[in-house]
Structure 1
Amino acid sequence: MHLTRFRLNTARTGARRLLESPQRLHAAVQFGFPEVLAGHGADDTPADQPRALWRLDHISRAEAHLYVVSQSEPDLTHLVEQAGWPHRAATTGEPGWQTHHYRPFLNRLAKGDTFAFRLTANPVHSVRRHAGEPTKRTAHVTPRHQLGWLTKRQEAAGFRLLSRENPPATGRPEDGYEVVVHNRRDLSFTKSAPPVGKRAAPVTLVTVTFDGRLEVTDPEALRRTLTLGLGKAKAYGCGLMTLAPLP
């Protein structure tokens, strides 16, 4: 397993095009792996091909980082040429991105360890408007329900959200956790490569970012979460959780 970070040069037109489109960014990530066949859309990666998880972090208006978790080591030369600093890469001999072996860190995870975490996700639930109708996947749109989505999955995902020592007296359950729900994005676009004979289907997503603190409760389950992702819409930059040491 590998964990990769790539900083986008937001002054470049190519970088801005990628930042505007989860589809373009997904394709750019997939083409970093020679073993992934060309010509597949965002949602039709073959079952026997590795699917890389990715997440885009907007550090500021002028700084954005792309994180990728993958089985094999990526080659992001095309991203450097399109959205990075190619001259610097050529003159310094550095590739323009940083890739680290992820397995040693994953193997060190132990029950009771605590970390800061970040997760961008697509919190959804299934609803039925009328009896007898099939259920429909619907986005959670309030921070309360979005955090509720995460708390319902924490046990199976191998972690426990840490509670605040002195929670505010608001009466809201979500205020009791050391978690901030922010950066909501409402995305709407059309699939660029529909299957032959079918019309392009519209895609609507609500994504949010969770920043908080957690305790490891099941190391093996958490390893699966960190490498396979959490929730839906993984092709569009959701599901990748990263951990960092607590100060």
Structure 2
Amino acid sequence: MNQRAALARIRLNPDSRAVERDLHDATQMHRTLMRLVPDGLGDSARLRSGLLYRLDITEDATTLLVQAASPLDGQGLPAGYGHMEVKDLSPMFTALRPGLGVRYRIAVNPVKRERLPLEQKNQRGKVIPLAGPEADQWWTRRATEAGLHLNSLLPTPLEPARRRGRDAAPLRHSLVRYDGTATVTDPETLTTALLSGIGRGKPYGAGLLTLAPAAAA
């Protein structure tokens, strides 16, 4: 399966006002990152570009990982936003095979749909965030469907994605990061999941699955 995608690592500048704004407003972050992909993609630009992102925070740095099937051009970022490096993911897709051991990381928005009584069968229930064992079960099921057998998982609750602004509609997407090891079971299905992302909340920092060789752990 011949697929192309690029992954950018942006080490954010903590002194940038644009960075500070984006870290507190998921909608603004999404708008900033969409400036990395080509113009003219239409109303479904994120979907067409395949843009996914994740915010990784450590004691030393705050890093944005941005993946897209379209070319990523750092010239679209605000001045002084951060240092960006881009790599081609084609070798990773080529290396995927059944039985391959990998380390993974993903931030997800695990949810379920509320069940309604029969008299409301034509209505849709509320979307309910999951936490704890229910969220772990959700990720295990979605990973299996994506062509991964999980050998381990470590959940880390993250700050919810939020939107700011006086006139903005409220937004609060719960996020959980999972780290662990896994075995590839279906490379083709896994490639599709890597390119399209997993779960809800993709415009707000959820769904980007990254892999590394397990031997590098």
TM-score (norm 2): 0.86
Task: Identify which range, 107-116 or 123-132, moves more after superposition.
Answer: 123-132
8 Å contact 1:15–1:82 — kept in the other structure?
no
Query: Following the alignment from structure 1 to structure 2, what is the Cα–Cα distance between the partners of residues 14 and 105?
Result: 32
Q: Does 1:241 align with 2:215?
A: no
1:184 pairs with one of 135, 150, 158 = 158
For structure 2, the residue ranges without an aligned partner over 5 or more in a row are none
Q: Could you tell me how far 1:201 is from its partner in structure 2?
A: 3.7
Q: Give the CA deviation at 1:36.
A: 4.6
SS at match of 2:92: helix
**Secondary structure at the residue paired with 1:207?**
strand
Taking the aligned partners of 2:118 and 2:80, their CA distance within structure 1 comes to: 51
- Choose from 10, 13, 17 the match for 1:13: 17
Residue 80 of structure 1 deviates from its aligned partner by 5.7
1:235 counterpart letter in structure 2: P
**Aligned counterpart, 1:45:** 44
One-letter amino acid matched to 2:128: T
- Partners of 2:127 and 2:11 in 1: CA distance: 34
1:157 pairs, out of 143, 146, 164, with 146
Partner of 2:176: 208
Per-residue deviation, residues 166-199 of structure 1 (Å, max 9, x unmatched): xxxxxxxxxxxx211113323443699xxxxxx9
Please state how far the C-alpha of 1:49 moved relative to its aligned partner.
Answer: 3.2
User: Is 1:128 aligned to 2:108, yes or no?
Assistant: no
Against the structure 1 CA distance between its residues 224 and 21, is the aligned structure 2 distance closer, same or farther, given a 3 Å change threshold?
same
The structural deviation recorded for 1:158 is 0.5
Could you tell me how far 1:153 is from its partner in structure 2?
1.5
**Hey, what's the Cα distance between the residues in 2 that align with 1:103 and 1:67?**
17
Looking at structure 2, the residues matched to 25 and 33 of structure 1 have their Cα atoms a distance apart, in angstroms, of 14
Aligned residues with identical type, % of pairs: 29
> 1:85-112: per-residue Cα shift (whole Å, max 9, x none)?
xxxxxxxxxxx31111111211110100
Following the alignment from structure 2 to structure 1, what is the Cα–Cα distance between the partners of residues 180 and 206? 17
Equivalent of 1:107 in 94, 111, 116: 94
Which residue number corresponds to residue 71 of structure 2?
73
> Structure 1: which 5+ runs fail to align?
85-95, 163-177, 193-198
In structure 2, which of residues 126, 129, 133 is the aligned counterpart of residue 139 of structure 1? 129
- Return the alpha-carbon distance in structure 2 between the equivalents of residues 10 and 47 of structure 1: 26
Shift of 1:154: 2.1
